[in-house]
C-alpha cells in the first residue's frame, strides 16, 4: 500500500501575515494586554488602532512595552510598532491616558 493512500496528506496551514491578541486585565477597558505578532517572512510595521481593541474606549491611551519594561507615552488613536522582525512580536499594556503627562507625537515608533 502506498504512503498516503489511506489518509491523504494534510492541507497546508495558511497563516495571516500578522495577528493581534487582546486580553482584558481590568474591567471597563481600564487595562488591556495586547500581543502583536508578525508572521510574515520579512520585517513589518504593525499599527494598533485603539478603537479596534475590544472593551477599550480611550482615544488617548498610555502604552507600555512589557518586554522592554518601559512606557512609550500617551498616544492618540493608535500605536505603530516599526520594523517588527519576521516571526517576532510586541507585547503591550494599554491603559487610559488620563492623569499621565502628554507625549507630543501621535504615535510612538520603536525599532
pLDDT digits (tens, 9 = 90+) for 76-98: 999 999 999 999 999 999 999 98
**Can you read off the three cell numbers belonging to residue 102?**
502628554
Q: Would strands 44-49 and 78-84 be described as parallel, antiparallel, or unpaired?
A: antiparallel
Predicted confidence at residue 102, as pLDDT, reads 47
What does CATH list as the number for 20-96? 2.60.40.1180
Predicted confidence at residue 5, as pLDDT, reads 66
Domain boundaries, the chain: 20-96
Task: State the CB neighbour count (10 A cutoff) for residue 78.
Answer: 17
Which of the residues in the chain have pLDDT under 50? 100-107, 109-111
Segment (H or E) for 61: strand 60-65
Give the predicted TM-score (pTM) of the model: 0.78
Predicted confidence at residue 31, as pLDDT, reads 96
Any idea what DSSP says for residue 44?
A: E
Predicted confidence at residue 52, as pLDDT, reads 96
Amino acid at each position: 500500500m502506498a504512503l498516503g493512500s489511506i489518509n491523504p496528506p494534510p492541507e497546508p496551514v495558511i497563516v495571516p501575515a500578522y495577528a493581534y491578541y487582546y486580553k482584558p486585565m481590568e474591567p471597563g477597558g481600564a487595562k488591556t494586554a495586547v500581543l502583536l505578532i508578525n508572521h510574515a517572512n520579512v520585517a513589518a510595521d504593525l499599527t494598533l488602532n485603539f478603537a479596534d481593541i475590544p472593551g477599550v474606549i480611550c482615544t488617548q491611551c498610555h502604552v507600555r512595552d512589557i518586554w522592554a519594561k518601559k512606557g512609550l507615552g500617551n498616544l492618540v488613536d493608535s500605536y505603530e510598532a516599526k520594523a517588527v522582525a519576521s516571526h517576532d512580536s510586541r507585547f503591550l499594556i494599554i491603559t487610559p491616558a488620563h492623569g499621565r503627562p502628554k507625549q507630543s507625537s501621535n504615535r510612538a515608533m520603536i525599532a
